[in-house]
Structure 1
Amino acid sequence: MESPDERNGNDVRQPLLEKIPAKKEAEGEERLCIDEMLQRYCGEFGRWQLKHFVLTCIAWALEAFHTMVMIFADQEPEWRCVGSDCRVGSSNCDMDPSSWEWTAGKGSSTVSEWGLICGEKYKVGLVQALFFAGCMIGAGVFGHLSDSKLGRKGSLTVVCIINAIFGIATAFSPNYWTYVVLRFLTGFSTGGVGLTAFVLATEPIGPSKRGVAGMSTFYFFSAGIALLSGIAYVFRSWRELFIVSSLPSLLFLLIVIPFISESPRWYLVRGKVDEAMKLMHLIAKTNGRHIPAGVTLALDDDVENKNGERNTAVEGSLKDVILSPLMRIRLLISVAISFTVSIVYYGLSLNVVNLKTNLYLNVFVNAVSEMPAFAITAVLLDKYGRKPLSIGTQWFSCIFCLVGFAVWGAGPWKSVRMVSGVLGIFGMAGTYNLLFIYIAELFPTVVRNAALGCATQAAQMGAILAPFVVVLGEELPFGVFAVCGLVGGGLAFYLPETLNKPLYDTMSGMHEAESESNRGRGEVIC
């Protein structure tokens, strides 16, 4: 342990403790930031973190259920001729309605039940766009609530309750417009699931393990999509599918949520030091470790009362981010990158899904094919850093999108374009998931979920626009995707590297540490 004199010199490796020395010799008390306490006494990723991580990340599979169920519920089923006026191979829009019928019956999808074909086909895209619009609004609302009074666990509980209620209610929609409203409300809650679960799962993990753990959260989302394809194969009625895909949210509330703990970082910034310390002692005990007497937690800009204990909550909001030049630039760049990445990711996903193959098998293969991207990114993340990997994966996708734009769409070149699309989404899948880790590390605890909420809102806006890009034709969408990848990678140059830097607690703590770092006084590795 360094002496206070050494720390007051040129070494800022402990930025959270500059105002309060790590040891108060007079009081016999050692005050540490959460990252250092995890490293020295609790363990960075032991049995407690593993259990907490797995239980919390199950919520990602629930998000996949509520988001991707539209692929199956809103699909246009096969039809067959039943009259002499029916002509196989032509459009059913030009035929007498009595000359053809849906092969699986009217109840197989919303399209067949409400006749969303021909002139009404736009309504399928409309309900999808409004779902993502609900996600965009919900991400901002629950991003703020999880940073403030509700907390991470409280927000996750609320969004799962809303998901279960409106997800099941959707199955009983009497008409199209009721269906639209219920899908919008489901999207509102779904927008808060992923960001809340991500922050809650990764905040109690030590800095050297956080990158790999953060990338691993997205295996649960892909696994959820793969599992949903099997569920949809068994339950072919869209009403049954909504009920079956929404029930897991109810089970999650009853069986899993009671065993998930609140984030110790949220306790700390809310002034609940006793609760934070109880949780840190539990983490240490479960991991077979021990926190010595006299060791307690400290924030970046620790405000003490006369007893030396924090009892004041530290507040933060998007207003504070916008008023801070440092945070404002980071937020704007993060939002812009999230927007461009989402257009490419969802746009290329739609191109792959629209292949004339078995829908259920195709969705399953797409979900599984993303997993190697997560694994490779996780391996490289802590070796090369967040910034180079963010740039590299976006430009990797850009290159193959350019290939898809340049080649002909006929003959053998059609296969080249298909492979280019697969490799493009491979690169962008790594970027999309890396951004959650990167943005979480760019902002302090008091505004972390609010910043992630803004980025998620931008991503949802990109998801809304992606289908409109896809319908531009065969070549042009690849050109748009290439430009988005090029611009997104260029913007990432203006973000700082966060590898081996701490998760700061407060705005002032991050500002102070960054100022010291910019003056060349050392690397922040608390």
Structure 2
Amino acid sequence: MDEMLEKYCGEFGLWQLRHLVLTSLAWLLEGIHSMVMIFADREPAWHYLTSHAGTTSWCSSEPGSWEWTGGTGSSTMSEFGLICGEKYKVGLVQSIFFAGCMVGAGVTGHLSDSKFGRKGTLAIICILNAIFGILTAFSSNYWTYALFRFLSGFSAGGIGLCASILSTEPVGQSWRGVAGLSTFYFFSTGVAVLSAIAYFIQSWRSLYIASSITSVVYVIFVLPFLNESPRWCLVRGKVDEAMKIMQKIAVSNGKQSIPNGVVLALDSEVNEDIPNSQFDSKEALNGSILDVLTSPITRSRFFLAVATDFFCSIVYYGLSLNAVNLGTNLYLNVALNAISEMPAYLLTSLVLNRFGRKGLYIGTMWFSGVFCLIGSLLNNADVTWRVIRMVCGLLGIFGIAATFNLSLLYFMELFPTEVRNVALGGATQAGHLGAILAPFVVVLGGNVPFALFGVCAIFLEDFW
């Protein structure tokens, strides 16, 4: 298939660009559904109804002496009473969402390889995401809310994975890495869009409905214009369908029609006719975690990938969720966090070959860690310090986003083809575990989150 793209269809032309953009809009959905909790679970404004003797917290105030400024319906924290001794439940429900993401990512991978295909699986999980998101808005109590957040995570966790596969498989080999890394821009854009939506929709129930409608819009107005992956069609024995898609690619890219007699075939089918072929399809397909752990080289690289993805996720998701603790405008802060990621992606792409993978990987980790530690030394007592602290958070996000951007390409190059998928799958699962722990760190509040994130980022360097 790579040979056909190179010779007859074009490795990355107008067709692939259009397909990449439309498919990657699903990443925008994942950004919205992953970060909507920042606004839905936020701490609303409150005020005293009676005089108070120097207390600055509802936990130390007399019952009935204060109330929520916007009423109880603006946030799950105010409606479900997630304050004082119950505040840990805010972190718990956010962790439950990421646990759903971890389970859903694994299931989605199997579904996309099955009879549903990449496009079919993407449609299914987007529909489920819309349904679970709307049902979340009608949660009658905390535990019902937690259940629907888990189900929302289950459906949202596989959106980016499925979209990445569908968008890059019709791209030629020399462009596939660049195309894959460009999808991260859409996730950040989704978070920025979410900030605007949340600014105008203050009620947490209405916000969940509005964010869920984006999935409905994608299924109705975008998915019909996408083609199934020709690679999946070929593997499933649908050669005619795969060839029709390849013809579309060639025509849209301004190439001549694929000549008669030029057809797609599986490597295993081709190599059955080649005597003494060194290609062993079964060996390539049967790589397992045991194969990774047996070799000393791949074993050490695997543990490095697992550890770094785990700590990177704690820092990345922790800094994103920690916007609620900074004492600045929440909507502006979240939007700036998302925007700060975009130059990080661009910069790493531009200087990657000049500084190398390892040097840039370590440098971006240190950059993030240093600014997190600086942020931990500041307090929220003064407006100026709060703004400086917010800037430290933005720079921390910039650094760790660059690290994340590098990790996919770097780890792909560290493992041989036979075990690449299983190794990267293990690292991805470790990243989900880090995301599950991040909300509990954020709930601690004060200077603790920044300090822990800084230690995690700098601690990563010791592995390398």
TM-score interval w.r.t. the shorter chain? 0.7 to 0.9
- Inter-partner Cα distance in structure 2 for 1:318 and 1:330: 20
Stretch deviating more after TM superposition (255-264 or 36-45): 36-45
Q: Match for 2:24 among 57, 61, 66? A: 57
Any conservation in 1 of the 2:286–2:418 contact (CA below 8 Å)?
no
1:329-365 Cα shifts (integer Å, max 9, x gaps): 6654433321121112122334444211111111112
Please list, as runs of the form range in 1=range in 2, the aligned pairs for 1:163-242 lying within 5 A after superposition.
163-242=129-208
Query: In the alignment, what sits opposite 1:161?
Result: 127
**Alignment counterpart, residue 428 of structure 2, candidates 456, 462, 486:** 456
1:8-19 equivalence runs, <5 A: none
Correspondence 1:19-418 to 2 at 5 A: 34-82=1-49, 84-86=50-52, 90-290=56-256, 291-302=258-269, 320-325=287-292, 331-381=302-352, 386-401=357-372
| Structure 1 length-normalised TM | 0.76
**Alpha-carbon deviations, 1:372-394, whole Å to 9, x = none?**
11111222346656555434422
Give the conservation status (yes or no) of the 8 Å contact 2:75–2:203: yes
**Comparing 388-397 and 214-223, the one that deviates more:** 388-397
2 CA distance for matches of 1:36 and 1:483? 47
Q: Which residue of 1 aligns with 2:402?
A: 430
What letter is aligned with 1:51?
A: R
Separation in 2, partners of 1:428, 1:134: 23
Partner of 2:47, secondary structure, is: strand
Note the C-alpha offset of 1:289. Answer: 1.0
Distance in 2 between residues matched to 1:249 and 1:316, nearest whole Å: 39
Return the letter of the residue paired with 2:221.
Answer: I
Residue identity matched to 1:429 = A
Q: State the Cα RMSD in Å.
A: 3.4
Runs of 5+ consecutive residues of structure 1 not aligned to the other structure: 1-33, 308-313, 494-526
- Map Cα deviations across residues 46-99 of structure 1 (whole Å, 9 max, x no partner): 1111111111111111111211111111111111222x3556752122334333
Counterpart residue identity of residue 292, structure 1: P
Counterpart residue identity of residue 249, structure 1: S
C-alpha change, 1:152 and 1:384, in structure 2 (3 Å) is farther
Name the CA distance, whole Å, in 2 between partners of 1:335 and 1:297: 37
Cα shift at 1:214 = 2.3
Cα pair 1:195 1:449 within 8 Å, conserved: no
- Aligned equivalents of 1:385, 1:479: Cα separation in 2: 29
Amino acid at match of 2:106: G
Residue 481 (str. 1) matches residue 453 (str. 2): yes
**1:428 Cα deviation after fit:** 0.8
Corresponding residue SS for 1:136: helix
Q: Name the CA shift for 1:416/1:99 in 2 (closer, same or farther; >3 Å).
A: closer
- Counting matched residue pairs gives 452
Q: Distance in 1 between matches of 2:410 and 2:196?
A: 33
Q: Could you tell me whether the CA contact under 8 Å between 2:14 and 2:253 is conserved in 1?
A: yes
Structure 1 pair 119/399, CA: closer, same or farther in 2 (3 Å)? Answer: closer
Q: Amino acid of the residue matched to residue 74 of structure 2?
A: S
Change in Cα spacing, 1:181 to 1:471, as seen in structure 2 (3 Å) is closer
Say which is worse superposed, 325-334 or 126-135, in terms of deviation: 325-334
CA contact (8 A) 1:269 1:446 kept: no
- One-letter amino acid matched to 1:209: W
User: Aligned with 2:70: secondary structure?
Assistant: coil
Identity of aligned residues (%): 61
Give the TM-score taking structure 2 as reference length.
0.85
Q: Is the 8 A contact 1:269 1:445 kept in 2?
A: no
Alpha-carbon offset, residue 471 of structure 1: 5.8
SS class of match (2:158): helix
Does structure 1 retain, via aligned residues, the 8 Å contact 2:29–2:215? Answer: yes
SS in structure 1 opposite 2:263? strand
The AA in structure 2 aligned to 1:358 is: N
Whether the aligned pair in 2 keeps the contact of 1:395 and 1:489 (CA below 8 Å) is yes
* Whole-angstrom distance in 1 between the partners of 2:385 and 2:200: 36
Distance 1:415 1:100 in 2: 28
When Rg is computed on C-alpha atoms for both structures, the one with the higher figure is 1
Q: C-alpha distance in 1, partners of 2:85/2:355?
A: 51
Call closer, same or farther: CA 1:294–1:57 in 2, change over 3 Å. same
User: Take 1:395 and 1:157, find their aligned partners in 2: how far apart are those partners?
Assistant: 40
Is the CA contact 1:139–1:456 (under 8 Å) kept in the aligned structure 2? no
Structure with the higher fraction of residues in helix conformation: 2
Corresponding position of 2:278: none
Q: Which amino acid aligns with 1:428?
A: I
Over residues 125-165 of structure 1, what are the superposed CA-to-partner deviations in whole Å (9 max), with x where a residue is unaligned? 11111111111111122123323443322221221121011
Contact 1:317/1:446, CA 8 A, preserved across alignment:
yes
